[in-house]
């Protein structure tokens, strides 16, 4: 699938709004947040209403350009975007943020990147909040639709999704990389999992 901020912003983000809203109560008013692999910035803009400062980072320049143009239009003063590699966030010192979030992104990466990405998230933040696919996916409509969406996302994307499932999803991947799960909630009829975790 061709990466496009317009495609995701117009067709994908509206479908995920209610799920992204589930992260909002997990952020305390006045906290600082970094959204890793932020894409079009959809999660960032939702969190901006509660957090003191929200930073979005993504490796894709086209996604950051899309998010930055949207920021210019809405004029939010507590939002910033950076083009950055999630495996190397050296521009941020240790514990720069109260919370590091990631929404439906971990499954897109090849398994070899889990360690550096999660290590950086727990280094720069006190708390980690992640939403991604539940494993195993339920055998209901949302589960079947999720498999179909990942299939049509492209060969590499679908391969990484399958490897994410094979690895056991968040329940296995996070503890394996030193992130202790404190609370877990299944949403969207069990297709997705929201995890709150300690970073140390």
| Residue 196, SS3 per DSSP | strand
CA–CA separation, 196 vs 176, rounded Å?
15
Mean pLDDT by 10 residues, the chain (200 residues): 44 61 93 96 94 97 93 94 97 97 95 97 96 94 85 88 96 94 93 88
Closest by CA to 175, choosing from 145, 148, 195, 153, is 195
CA–CA separation, 188 vs 57, rounded Å?
26
Residue 56, beta-bridge partner list: 35, 81
CA–CA separation, 64 vs 129, rounded Å?
21
Give the pTM: 0.90
Separation of first and last alpha carbons in the chain: 36
98-122 tens-digit pLDDT: 999 999 999 999 999 999 999 999 9
Q: Which CATH class is domain 5-198?
A: alpha beta
Task: Check residue 71 and report its DSSP letter.
Answer: H
Number of C-alpha atoms within 13 angstroms, CB side, residue 44?
30
pLDDT recorded at residue 8: 46
């Amino acid at each position: 699938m061709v990466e496009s901020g317009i495609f995701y912003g117009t067709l994908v983000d509206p479908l995920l709004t209610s799920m992204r809203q589930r992260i909002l109560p997990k952020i305390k008013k006045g906290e600082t947040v970094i959204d890793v692999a932020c894409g079009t910035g959809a999660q960032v803009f939702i969190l901006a209403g509660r957090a003191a400062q929200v930073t979005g980072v993504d490796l894709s320049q086209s996604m950051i350009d899309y998010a930055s143009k949207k920021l210019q239009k809405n004029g939010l003063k507590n939002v910033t975007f950076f083009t950055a590699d999630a495996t190397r966030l050296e521009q941020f010192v240790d514990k720069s943020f109260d919370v590091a979030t990631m929404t439906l992104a971990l499954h897109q990466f090849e398994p070899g990147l889990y360690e550096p990405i999660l290590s950086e998230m727990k280094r720069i933040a006190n708390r980690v909040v992640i939403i991604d696919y539940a494993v195993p996916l339920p055998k209901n409509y949302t589960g079947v639709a999720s498999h179909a969406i990942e299939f049509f996302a492209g060969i590499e994307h679908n391969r990484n999704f399958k490897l994410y499932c094979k690895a056991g999803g968040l329940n296995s991947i996070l503890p394996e990389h030193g992130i202790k799960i404190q609370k877990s909630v299944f949403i969207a009829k069990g297709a997705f999992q929201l995890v709150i975790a300690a970073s140390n």
